[in-house]
Chain A
Amino acid sequence: MTYANISIEDLPTDQADRVVKIIKISGQLDESNVDEQSKTIYQLIEANPKNLYLIFNFAELEYLNSKAIGYLTDWYGKISAEGGKIAIAMAKDNITDILSVVGLTQLITCYLTLDEAKLGIMQ
């Protein structure tokens, strides 16, 4: 199985109605691991159904395939329908390129830095 790892960090916020988390994904999301890895995010969404704010830190993400993009789109749909938001930070050029070609950058904003993503998502 191709290496991939997901770690989740809480981001403190003074807005009590919001749950804000940074999801760091490293390695490669491909056909061999993406179904298994995506369960972590679905569990997170189930545990926080309302006002969930997720910043995906893609600094160490090397590759993602079309199925991973499908999951990302699905998370966007579920979270934004319940008052939450999704942002992407620090994606490598090849990751931004593929997100752009499928049109996902029109739905989810990609920020160059984590700080910009934090500011952007909390607005």
Chain B
Amino acid sequence: MPNNPQTAPVKITITLPTNAYFLSGIRDFTITMTKNVTGFSDQWAFRFQSVVDELCNNAIEHGSVSGQEIKITFLSVPQKELEIMVEDSGTGPNKYTATQMREVFEKQKKIVQNQFLGLRGRGLAKIVAEWTDELIFEDREGGGLRVRAIKYLHPEDSVLAVNTQNQPQTASIILQPVHA
């Protein structure tokens, strides 16, 4: 991949039942997809698995009742950015509008800024917020919430940067004919 980086955008959409049982599979997929498609380093592959997991947990806990679905979309522009979009059905008992969600998020972000000893509230306000460049909350037509987390590929976060640091700057390969 570093020798022939893919540059065409890649869009992958996955629909899941509202059950935390399926999230380990989505986390595995996120790591594989990040490593093979996006150009982000392995460290970011693990970070994105947390971002996806936290967004999905929120969608399941707040946005969709049992038996409904959530939709996860990965939009990668290789060597440039990765957008992770999670949509719920808006049927959950604790559902929020986009405006309410933004208010909750901003309030929680202030709470977790200092040494925070609470049991809940780090997922969106700390993990997702720290590991994305843009976080957008949108109301879906027909109900439900869409959360878009966008991370731009900075040179230091690139797999190319990591490979350059870890590998020798020069290498020689000698091909010799094989004589029977």
The answer to whether the Cβ of A47 comes within 8 Å of any Cβ in the partner chain is no
Within B18-57, which residues are at the interface with A (CB < 8 Å)?
A: 20-21, 23-24, 27, 43, 46-47, 49-50, 53-54, 57
The answer to whether the Cβ of A40 comes within 8 Å of any Cβ in the partner chain is no
In the assembled complex, the CB of B94 is this many whole angstroms from the nearest CB of chain A, namely: 15
The answer to whether the Cβ of A1 comes within 8 Å of any Cβ in the partner chain is yes
In the complex, what residue of chain B is closest to A92 when comparing beta carbons? B46
Q: Point out the residues of chain B lying under 8 angstroms from A107, CB to CB.
A: 115
In the assembled complex, the Cα of A71 lies from the Cα of B126 at a distance in Å of 16
The answer to whether the Cβ of A94 comes within 8 Å of any Cβ in the partner chain is yes
In the assembled complex, the CB of A79 is this many whole angstroms from the nearest CB of chain B, namely: 12
In the assembled complex, the Cα of A2 lies from the Cα of B20 at a distance in Å of 9
- Segment with Cβ contacts to A, from B79-87, B117-125, B148-156, B167-175: B117-125
Contacts A30-B53, A70-B119, A73-B117 given: A102-B23 contact, CB under 8 Å? Answer: no
> Dominant SS at the B interface?
helix
B24, A32: Cβ atoms under 8 Å?
A: yes
The count of residues in chain B whose C-beta lies closer than 8 Å to any C-beta of chain A is: 28
The answer to whether the Cβ of A41 comes within 8 Å of any Cβ in the partner chain is no
Contacts A31-B23, A32-B20, A63-B27 given: A101-B126 contact, CB under 8 Å? Answer: yes
Contacts A30-B24, A32-B24, A63-B27 given: A98-B118 contact, CB under 8 Å? Answer: no
Q: Point out the residues of chain A lying under 8 angstroms from B121, CB to CB.
A: 70
Most buried by A among B46, B50, B116, B122: B122
In the assembled complex, the Cα of A49 lies from the Cα of B14 at a distance in Å of 46
B47, A77: Cβ atoms under 8 Å?
A: no
Q: Point out the residues of chain B lying under 8 angstroms from A97, CB to CB.
A: 43, 46-47
B119, A101: Cβ atoms under 8 Å?
A: no
In the complex, what residue of chain B is closest to A1 when comparing beta carbons? B21
In the assembled complex, the Cα of A106 lies from the Cα of B118 at a distance in Å of 15
A98, B120: Cβ atoms under 8 Å?
A: no
In the assembled complex, the CB of B43 is this many whole angstroms from the nearest CB of chain A, namely: 7
The count of residues in chain A whose C-beta lies closer than 8 Å to any C-beta of chain B is: 26
The answer to whether the Cβ of B106 comes within 8 Å of any Cβ in the partner chain is no
The answer to whether the Cβ of B127 comes within 8 Å of any Cβ in the partner chain is yes
A32, B127: Cβ atoms under 8 Å?
A: no
In the complex, what residue of chain A is closest to B27 when comparing beta carbons? A63
Contacts A2-B24, A28-B24, A31-B57 given: A102-B43 contact, CB under 8 Å? Answer: no
- Per-residue contact bits, chain B 106-137, to A (CB 8 Å; 1 contact, 0 not): 00000010011111111100110011000000
Q: Point out the residues of chain B lying under 8 angstroms from A93, CB to CB.
A: 43, 46
The answer to whether the Cβ of A66 comes within 8 Å of any Cβ in the partner chain is yes
B127, A73: Cβ atoms under 8 Å?
A: no
In the complex, what residue of chain B is closest to A71 when comparing beta carbons? B119
In the assembled complex, the CB of A69 is this many whole angstroms from the nearest CB of chain B, namely: 6
